[in-house]
Amino acid sequence: MKIWLNGGLRELESARVSVLDHGLTVGDGVFETLKAVDGLPFALTRHLDRLARSARGLGLPEPDQDEVRRACAAVLEANPMALGRLRITYTGGLSPLGSDRGEAGQTLIVALGETPRRPDSTAVITVPWTRNERGAVTGLKTTSYAENVVALGRAHERGASEALFGNTVGRLCEGTGSNVFVVLDGEIHTPPVASGCLAGITRALAVEWTSAQETDLPLDVLDRADEIFLTSTLRDIQAVHRVDGRELPGAPGPVTAKAMRIFDERSGADLDP
């Protein structure tokens, strides 16, 4: 397995960053996860735009887009696989032992792992912890994901594959690594970005392609929604068949199934929408 680290391809086993890298010591970094099908990345331009936005949000210099594109192409070419998770990580780099950032320059890593295709439906739980819709890094895809690690661990303990958060004012927000949609009276709704969720790329495409509406929703909408689905880079659109103790028999329901079909068609027809 070859990965990209700071300017070139390296063997994964011998690639090294400093133990004082600010990404490691304080989570000062941003990242993207892309889907790669048969060696081709999906929605690369949107992911690079979001990476730049996240970097700006942390006060990091924007990564060199040409270098990141070259790195992605090189890693994909060096490691052929049917379905890959392509991960771009960009951190504050070698820094002092505190929250101040050093001046040694940033760390850029592009790595790839093989991944199975997700099932068409899954179980989710809600968690009692909140997303903060007013934080300094709200909406940025930072490497500070420990809250998501804890919540996802809770989901796995309960036989679910995702944990959903409300925000500080009790509104539905998002999952640890996905956005959430509900179907009410035949209409598709998803929380607005102001809820504190990440502006998911799959979410944006689903809104565009299915005319879903962005609606401020209470967390307990999950108790009564006719259908629920998740979106993310590696889930695409995935139906929910259980939320906490509530079963949604027959998931994917008709509205979700149609959205899944449209998403497959549109994403298959254009690799960089």
Ligand X SMILES: Cc1ncc(COP(=O)(O)O)c(C=O)c1O
Note the residues at the interface with ligand X (CB under 6 A): 33, 174, 177-179, 197-198, 200-203, 231-233
Tokens of 79: 């490691």
Q: DSSP letter for 94, please.
A: B
Shortest Cβ contact with ligand X: which residue?
200
Measured from the CB atom, the residue of 93 and 177 that comes closer to ligand X is 177
Least spacing, CB of residue 232 vs ligand X, in Å: 4
Task: Decide whether 121 or 267 has the Cβ nearer to ligand X.
Answer: 267
Please list, residue by residue across 12-45, b when 16 or more beta carbons sit within 10 angstroms of its beta carbon and e when fewer do. eeebebeeebbbbbbebbbbbbbbbeeeebbbbe
Residue closer to ligand X by CB (options 22, 235) is 235
Nearest approach in angstroms of CB 141 to ligand X is 6
CB of 151 to ligand X, least distance (A): 10
Question: Are β-strands 187-190 and 213-214 bridged in parallel, bridged antiparallel, or unpaired?
Answer: parallel
Helix (H) or strand (E) holding 122: strand 121-131
**Toward ligand X, which CB reaches closer, 233 or 267?**
233
Query: Measured between alpha carbons, how far is residue 118 from residues 104, 235, 243 in Å?
Result: 40, 6, 18
Q: Minimum CB separation from ligand X for residue 33, in Å?
A: 5
